[in-house]
Amino acid sequence: MGSKSIQGQLWGKRALDWAAIQEPTGKAGYTYVINLLQPTPADHILDVGCGSGLFSDLASKPGAHVTGIDASEVLLDEARQRNPSITFLNGEMEELPFDDQSFTLVCGFNSFQYAANVKNALSEAKRVLKTGGKLALMIWGNKEDCEAATYLKAIGNLLPPPPPGAPGPFALTENRLLENVLEDIGLKIINSADVDSIWDYENREIALKGLLSAGPAAKAIDHSGFEKVQETILAAIQPYIKPNGHVVYQNKFRIVIAEK
């Protein structure tokens, strides 16, 4: 069993807030990949863990053929509304419903770290990638470079004890784990960079809605209740409230590009 049955439930509970507020916090990474790889109408792109489809939409603008797959049907409904011309499918990243060598570019933005078995998921991404194609992945940077890690740490105290080896936001960041797995399955790393990502929420209420829409917060709510999680997040964001009322987190996302 892969991650779909668990992650699909968690990430779809506040789909509107995710689509409007939280998914755009990854835009710096999406833009970096698009500018680096320059997709064209000749490209066939698979967006694994596409969420509400923001990267898929951006990648389709130059004319590339884009397919998105996600565990959450509710988020996919938002993706289809964002861009009805893109094919969006509900599915499991460890059992991709595509033929071998179907895509010139496979992407995953903060998705593969939530796979039940990361190596299996990345091997599936490699399988559907054409020879010479690129795999573009975005994960969190080092914890010390991500101010939003403080919010994740706070709600972590409201989660049930994880089983050994359980996936989480930083599961692939430390000790070059992502790069090691990619090399282990026979991919060649051609680029790795940490990209600045500034999360700037207009006010405390919008920040709260955005942060509550993420999977870890949903899991904490299931375990500890909404009021406790809301109270904890409000306390955690207090140091990041600026004089103008904005809530601002300085973060880094790590972008790793590998070639088949």
Per-residue pLDDT at 8: 64
3-class SS at 164? coil
Strand order in the sheet with 129-140: 87-90, 65-70, 44-48, 103-109, 129-140, 247-259, 188-201
Confidence of residue 3 (pLDDT cuts 50, 70, 90): low
User: What CATH number is given to the structural domain containing 184?
Assistant: 3.40.50.150
Round the average pLDDT of the chain to a whole number and report it: 93
Structural domain contains residue 191: yes
Residue-range definition of the domain harbouring residue 109: 4-147+162-201+249-259
Structural domain contains residue 170: yes
Q: How many domains does the chain have?
A: 1
Structural domain contains residue 13: yes
% of the chain exceeding 70 in pLDDT = 95
Confidence of residue 227 (pLDDT cuts 50, 70, 90): very high
Structural domain contains residue 208: no
Structural domain contains residue 183: yes
Structural domain contains residue 74: yes
Pairing state between β 247-259 and 87-90: unpaired
Structural domain contains residue 225: no
Distance CA 125, CA 174 (A): 22
Structural domain contains residue 228: no
pTM of the model: 0.93
Q: 201, 190, 219: which is closest to 14 by C-alpha?
A: 219
